[in-house]
Amino acid sequence: MSWVRIWIHLVFSTKNREPYLTSKELRERVLQHIKENASTKEVWLDIVNGYQEHIHCLISLSKDQSISKIAQLIKGESSHWINENQLTKTKFIWQDDYWAVSVSESHIDSIRKYIKNQEEHHRVKSFTEEVDEFMKKYGWQFIK
């Protein structure tokens, strides 16, 4: 039997960073659905939260899962569900891209806290500022 624990902090945004998820009630409904769907797909989604135009997930990959497959499962099914249930006034679409970074076991608690406090966090910092911090922190560059 293989034992694997690879923690990933996955972040994805709505198409063009449109603030589709404007109410707390709508966000909670979407987040709950993402959790339930992940469970049915055998995705270990430790915590999920977000704000008006993006979602953060802390995921533990199994030996036969990839980041791209997990992102596809979560994003594809949730956008389909949002549209099927007409939860937004216009067609809901996630951005094609996502951000993913591995997380050390020693940082799991701080990442959980960071994800849990998204609403509070974004009272003082925009998603664009958050992305810029990630880019700098992890040495990422936009490729044109």
The tokens for 115 are 């994800």
In the chain, the domains with their CATH numbers are 6-138 (3.30.70.1290)
Within 8 A by CB and 6+ apart from 56, the residues are: 9, 10, 11, 48, 49, 50, 114, 115, 118
- Beta strands at 6-13 and 99-103: parallel, antiparallel or unpaired: antiparallel
pLDDT 10s digit of each residue in the chain, 144 long? 678 889 999 999 999 999 999 999 999 999 999 999 999 999 999 999 999 999 999 999 999 999 999 999 999 999 999 999 999 999 999 999 999 999 999 999 999 998 998 887 667 777 667 767 767 776 766 655
Residues 49 and 6: beta-carbon distance below 8 Å: no
H or E segment at 51?
strand 44-51
